[in-house]
């Protein structure tokens, strides 16, 4: 969640909306990215289906570090993939793409991120250091609800479009951060019911309440690794985490900190960071 400030009421309203909209049973059927992660001749056996956090709308160039994705993995999961490929350098193909699409150089594994057309990832609630006024707050919550209304069926549509356009029918691993965890829910439940979801890795999961996970249904049949850092107000809520997020003029407290150091210097990674990368590597191999 980038630059999401004044989080108390905004996050309470937003997470309430996530819980209501992203029910495990709610399976529904002008950007530079594409929905292609392979062709019939170069189909990956496994695809990481990725959904970014709120307001993480920068687009990244394809590279071996992000699995030659379409660029919509967002800042936090881009850091995660950068770290994961540093400690597991064989995860994705090492060849540089030729410009024909993100399927180039992928090998047996690929990354497909929900793009802005399928999932806007919006939740603007003010600028750094700003306490949002009621109108700004209401507008931000409204955009968040609209983002979820598009994102929940958007994941299903994106997978359908990818498989239809490429002829590929791979297994999947879910990879979500913050709001993106909710956006993945319907498509993951469908894939799990088809026996094509190997598992999921989540960061800053709004359905995580330390030490437990909220959920079940079809996802209870696959491995789910949910990584929550201490004092992340989204998954470790309480007065302390909320206060630290409010006081952070640069971001949203611990919620913005996932893999910030490890992506730059893998030797600084903590035990939980390495565990999340190892679980992801084990699922996608």
Question: How many whole angstroms separate alpha carbon 68 and alpha carbon 71?
Answer: 8
| pLDDT tens digits along 47-70 | 999 999 988 999 999 999 999 999
Segments in the chain below pLDDT 70: 1-41, 94-106, 123-144, 146-147, 211-218
For the chain, which domains are there? 7-25+37-284 (3.40.50.1820)
User: So what's the pLDDT on residue 214?
Assistant: 55
Q: How far apart are CA 218 and CA 235, in angstroms?
A: 22
What integer pLDDT is reported at residue 258 of this predicted model? 97
Going by C-alpha positions, the residue among 245, 269, 270, 246 that lies closest to residue 256 is 245
pLDDT attached to residue 220: 78
What tokens does 125 get?
């609630």
Find, among 35, 68, 18, 282, the residue nearest to 165 by Cα. Answer: 35
pLDDT at 181: 95
For residue 201 the two structure tokens come to 């890795």
Q: What is the pLDDT, as a whole number, of residue 168?
A: 97
Distance between CA atoms of residues 28 and 50, nearest Å: 18
**Under DSSP, is residue 258 helix (H, G, I), strand (E, B) or coil?**
coil
What's the pLDDT at 70? 96
Task: Tell me the β-bridge partners of 109.
Answer: 46
């Amino acid at each position: 969640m980038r630059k999401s400030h004044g989080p108390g009421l905004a996050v309470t309203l937003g997470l309430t909306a996530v819980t209501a909209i992203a029910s495990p049973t709610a399976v529904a059927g002008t950007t530079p990215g594409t929905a292609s992660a392979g062709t019939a001749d170069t189909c990956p056996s496994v695809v990481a289906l990725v959904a970014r956090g709120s307001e993480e709308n920068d687009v990244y160039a394809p590279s071996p570090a992000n699995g030659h994705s379409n660029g919509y993995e967002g800042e936090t999961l881009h850091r995660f993939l950068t770290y994961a490929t540093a400690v597991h350098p064989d995860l994705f193909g090492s060849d540089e793409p030729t410009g024909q699409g993100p399927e180039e150089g992928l090998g047996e594994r690929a990354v497909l991120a929900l793009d802005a057309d399928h999932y806007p990832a919006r939740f603007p609630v003010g600028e750094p250091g700003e306490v949002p006024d009621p109108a700004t707050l209401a507008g931000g919550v409204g955009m968040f609800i609209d983002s979820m209304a598009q994102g929940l069926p958007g994941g299903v549509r994106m997978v359908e479009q990818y498989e239809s356009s490429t002829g590929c029918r791979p297994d999947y691993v879910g990879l979500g951060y913050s709001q993106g965890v909710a956006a993945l829910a319907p498509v993951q439940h469908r894939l799990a019911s088809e026996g094509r979801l190997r598992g999921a890795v989540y960061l800053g999961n709004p359905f995580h309440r330390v030490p437990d996970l909220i959920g079940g249904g079809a996802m209870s049949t696959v491995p789910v690794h949910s990584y929550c850092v201490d004092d992340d107000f989204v998954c470790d809520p309480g007065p302390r985490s909320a206060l630290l997020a409010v006081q952070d003029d640069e971001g949203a407290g611990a919620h913005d900190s996932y893999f910030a150091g490890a992506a730059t210097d893998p030797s600084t990674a903590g035990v939980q960071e390495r565990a999340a990368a190892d679980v992801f590597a084990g699922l996608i191999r």
